[in-house]
Amino acid sequence: MSRNKLSVKDFYDSLAADYDAEQDAANFRFVREPEKELIRDFFEKEQFTDSSILEIGAGTGRFSLLFAAACKSYTAVDLSPAMLQQLTQKAEKAHITNITTIEGDFLQTPIPGTFDYIVSFTAIEYILDKKALFRKMAQLLKPGGKLFITTTHKTFIRFWGCFGNYFRQHIFMNMYSKREVKKLLQNNGLKPLLIEDYVLKRFPFKGILLAIHAQKD
């Protein structure tokens, strides 16, 4: 396991018990509230009743239960066993029984089956190999399947996105531009439906949160 993977796992293992409270705190709310609105908008526009959903970097399941309660089967992948334990406890408390958790690195861990939807919420930035990530997501989507992702935007305050995060977590993140995402999608047979930046979007800067919605040909 690479140093970055170990750092991500160790950091989130240590934070798992307090993660949800931290994300709801005021210093994160300016990002998390708009993200919730984007996710809720996507959720309300889709029909999940007979669908299978894969979530990459599910963590404590901040949004997992919302989707799992609406679909046929839900697979949650995360590098941190402590974060997945929090998700499992939430699901048990909510009597949601259709969630399968998979602990491991998304690129290295076999994921059985294919899916109607793949979702990921501010998580793919920790996966270093962008080409391999989009290739595997495309492989795991059924024909006509849809992808919905939120992640960090590349062009807004690069210093804080890379180095500021490093001082807190000792982890460097991959960030994305809209042009780069479009190319990664199209190179893997995924039709872009939405690629847009949000949050603190003020000229000449781009927003710090990037939303990606695409469909497999």
- Can you give the pTM of this predicted structure? 0.85
**3-state per-residue secondary structure call for 115-167:** EEEEEEECCHHHCCCHHHHHHHHHHHEEEEEEEEEEEEECCCCHHHHHHHHHH
Return the CATH number at 166. 3.40.50.150
Please state, in angstroms and rounded to a whole number, the distance separating the CA atoms of residues 106 and 99.
17
Q: Is the pLDDT of residue 20 over 50?
A: yes
| Other CB atoms within 10 A of residue 54 CB | 27
Q: Is residue 47 part of a domain?
A: no
DSSP 8-state secondary structure symbol assigned to residue 109: S
Q: What digits encode the pLDDT tens for the residues 46-101?
A: 999 999 999 999 999 999 999 999 999 999 999 999 999 999 999 999 999 999 99
The three-class DSSP label of residue 95 is coil
Q: Does residue 31 lie within any of the structural domains?
A: yes
pLDDT of residue 23: 60
Mean pLDDT of 114-143: 96
> Are 152 and 208 in contact, with CB atoms under 8 Å apart?
yes
For residue 176, being part of any structural domain is answered with yes
Task: Specify the pLDDT at position 6.
Answer: 52
Residue 10 has pLDDT above 90, yes or no: no
Instruction: State the residue range of the domain holding 89.
Output: 3-41+52-216
Q: Please check whether residue 128 lies inside any domain of the structure.
A: yes
Least confident of 3-7, 15-19, 175-179: 3-7
Q: Is residue 46 part of a domain?
A: no
Q: Domain tally for the chain? A: 1
Residue 139 belongs to some domain of the structure: yes
Residue pair 208/200 in contact (Cβ under 8 Å)? The answer is yes
Predicted confidence at residue 22, as pLDDT, reads 64
